[in-house]
Amino acid sequence: MAVSIARTVQALRAAVSGWRAEGLSVGLVPTMGALHDGHISLVRAGLARTDRVIVTLFVNPKQFNSPADLAAYPRTEESDAAKLAVAGAHLLYAPDAEAIYPQGFSTTVSVDGASEGMEGAFRPGHFDGVATVVAKLFLQSGADCAFFGEKDFQQLHVVRRMAHDLDIAIEVIACPTVREADGLAMSSRNVRLSPEERALAPRLAAVLFDAAEKLAAGAAAAPLLADARNALGRAGFGAVDYIELRSQATLATLERASEPARLLAAVWLGEVRLIDNVAVAPAS
Ligand SMILES: Nc1ncnc2c1ncn2[C@@H]1O[C@H](COP(=O)(O)OP(=O)(O)OP(=O)(O)O)[C@@H](O)[C@H]1O
Ligand SMILES: CC(C)(CO)[C@@H](O)C(=O)[O-]
Ligand code: BAL
């Protein structure tokens, strides 16, 4: 059975109000489409926790720094809808830009702190774009819970802070990163890797997991992360935008794993920018 598709906020709200009339809970999975098993894991998490699951598909122009990256972003709505039908999602909300940014739209939601550094340093305005569109999706849907991947760990912090500060009554639930069999974090951008680049790509996760193990054993971050950066360069990766050890709870920069931490990186491979992050247990 095909998944229902809503393209306007009115159609979205009509579906939700019908569910509310039946006393049903509603989950939301915001995406930019080009769905893979990482997205489907969020749908499954939603189905396990709520009665009705909405998946949103909106390639948000406000979070791309170049028209080329926006244009190159894969758009596969038909196959996305088929995957969602199989997964059991109840509604695909695929608004056009007018439904999200109508004529005269002039508001930006900006989250200080969590947006700064890492992705925020290399993608200026990206998290303003994320916070603005996610705030709208939260308010348009009125969902009880929203499901986000740990793959975009900094984004999780931004979205959680936004919902908290704007008093939006929604629970933001983090879901583990789904990886390919060789360890590469699933990402819509992976389809743009050449065969040679795809063969090399899992090395990023391997370097991160190796460094995480050493950090959990008490190693100082600075020399270890320098070694990791060099290892990626030697392996054939391009520019390493960042590789940083941060507090899992606050994103504060850490010099060693003195608390539950996250090792986060963004690295270029050809024309594709890979991001990944792994958990680091506190050094005993
Ligand atoms: N491998 C993954 N495991 C778990 N969640 C994921 C994974 N990849 C993406 N997600 C989550 O899916 C949601 C939608 O992300 P998005 O549509 O940008 O997909 P993406 O694969 O991250 O694409 P991109 O190439 O833009 O990073 C986000 O909450 C994101 O964290
Ligand atoms: C959350 C999101 C759908 C907002 O456009 C996007 O940043 C993404 O796909 O992670
Ligand atoms: N996966 C986060 C959305 C983005 O990179 O634009």
Q: Which sequence spans correspond to the domains of the chain?
A: 4-175, 188-278
pTM of this structure: 0.97
Question: What confidence score (pLDDT) does residue 68 get?
Answer: 87
Q: Which CATH superfamily is domain 4-175 in?
A: HUPs (3.40.50.620)
Best mutation site among 32, 39, 41, 43 for ligand 1 pocket (most ligand atoms within 8 Å of CB) = 39
Catalytic choice (39, 90, 126, 157): 39
Is 214 assigned a ligand-binding role in the annotation?
no
Q: Is 31 in the pocket of ligand 2 (CB under 6 A)?
A: yes
Q: Is 30 in the pocket of ligand 2 (CB under 6 A)?
A: yes
Å from CA of 243 to ligand 3 middle: 17
Q: Is 276 in the pocket of ligand 2 (CB under 6 A)?
A: no
In order along its 284 residues, the chain shows pLDDT tens digits of 789 999 999 999 999 999 999 999 999 999 999 999 999 999 999 999 999 999 999 999 999 888 888 898 889 999 999 999 999 999 999 999 999 999 999 999 999 999 999 999 999 999 999 999 999 999 999 999 999 999 999 999 999 999 999 999 999 999 999 999 999 999 998 999 999 999 999 999 999 999 999 999 999 999 999 999 999 999 999 999 999 999 999 999 999 999 999 999 999 999 999 999 999 999 98
Question: What confidence score (pLDDT) does residue 264 get?
Answer: 98
Return the residue whose CA atom lies nearest to atom 4 of ligand 3: 63
Question: What confidence score (pLDDT) does residue 166 get?
Answer: 98
Q: Is 135 in the pocket of ligand 2 (CB under 6 A)?
A: no
Best mutation site among 31, 184, 275 for ligand 1 pocket (most ligand atoms within 8 Å of CB) = 31
Nearest ligand to residue 33 Cα: 1
Contact criterion met (CB below 8 Å) for 171 and 145: yes
39: annotated active-site residue: yes
For 188-278, which CATH class? alpha beta
Question: What confidence score (pLDDT) does residue 57 get?
Answer: 98
Question: What confidence score (pLDDT) does residue 65 get?
Answer: 82
Contact criterion met (CB below 8 Å) for 56 and 30: yes
Q: Is 149 in the pocket of ligand 1 (CB under 6 A)?
A: yes
Return the residue whose CA atom lies nearest to atom 2 of ligand 1: 38
Question: What confidence score (pLDDT) does residue 89 get?
Answer: 98
Q: Is 244 in the pocket of ligand 3 (CB under 6 A)?
A: no
